[in-house]
Amino acid sequence: MARVQRVDSSVMDQPRARGAAKQLTPEQRERQRQQRQFARLIGQLNGPHDVFEVRLGKDEKPITVRQRLLRSASDAGKEVAVRRSENGFYVALMTPDRRSNRGRKRQSGS
C-alpha cells in the first residue's frame, strides 16, 4: 500500500535536478556518423555528372542504407536516384532519364 506524508512546500518550488546526459551506445554513435557522412555526400551532389558509390559494410542491410540515403536527400531538399551497384549503391541527382517508369502512368494535362 502507498504511504502518504506531508512535506514542505519548498520541494515543489525548487528547480528539478537534471541527471547527467545519457551516453550513446556505439551503434548509435556509428549511426550518427553515417548520417553526417550521407548529408555531406548529398551536399556534394550539384549536377547530373556527380555520382558517388556507397559501399556496404558486412553488417549493414541494403534497405536500411538506401532509406537513410533517401532521408538525407529529402532533408537537404534534393531528389536523388539510388541504383544498386556490385558493392552497394550509386547515388546521383535525379534527372528525367534516371526517373523510374514503374507505377501509375502520369495523367496528361492535369
pLDDT of 27 above 70? yes
CA 38 to chain CA centroid, nearest Å:
8
pLDDT of residue 44: 94
Domain that includes residue 62, residue range:
50-95
| Strand 80-84 with 88-93, pairing | antiparallel
pLDDT of 68 above 90? yes
pLDDT of residue 108: 73
pLDDT of residue 70: 95
Number of domains in the chain: 1
pLDDT of residue 22: 83
| Strand 88-93 with 51-55, pairing | antiparallel
Confidence of residue 19 (pLDDT cuts 50, 70, 90): low
pLDDT of residue 4: 77
Residue 28 domain-assigned? no
